[in-house]
Structure 1
């Protein structure tokens, strides 16, 4: 399955918008949000697992014979907030995706580094 970078951004923005401190966010509530209705359940679940693997969110997961299934989000990590701060602005996100498209496919780590580089360049820090 392919990780969709726009789905990554939309999920993080949605979590930030609707997640309350110390309150569990069920996946069913997450998937009903406007920013996510155009993504399939598989895309959202896959992206949630990858965001957790990258250290951007913490998930509660249920294990079944068929495999693991995310039940919901318990928290967005500091690293997740930092990444989201860098990609929040549409102009930064567009430039980051443009840089990533030059190599075809990029990891979340590289995408995060690229976004930080775009922000640094806009601030005149690089």
Structure 2
């Protein structure tokens, strides 16, 4: 069973599936195809890796589309979907971290971190 409302489009399930029963197409959107007819005697690896527990046992035959998130700093397309970024933002919030990091590319994160560290370099002994 697949609870599509819980799926964030992270593609962890597709990477874990040993039978290619879950396909990913990356264009202007991330498209995930669930093809349970390709499932065989597996250990439900897709269930184990799903961060939101959207998949329970064998997934339904369905195609889901997800829009990508874009960096708040430079505007580049992120390699995560909007729903995925929102999920990670919630996780960061729970940990007391900066939620905007879920919506910033790695390059811009490094620039932010280095600009903060440059301000404190004078304090090093």
TM-score between both structures, scaled by the size of structure 1: 0.30
Q: Greater strand percent: which structure?
A: 2
Q: Greater helix percent: which structure?
A: 1
Which structure has the larger Rg?
2
TM-score between both structures, scaled by the size of structure 2: 0.31
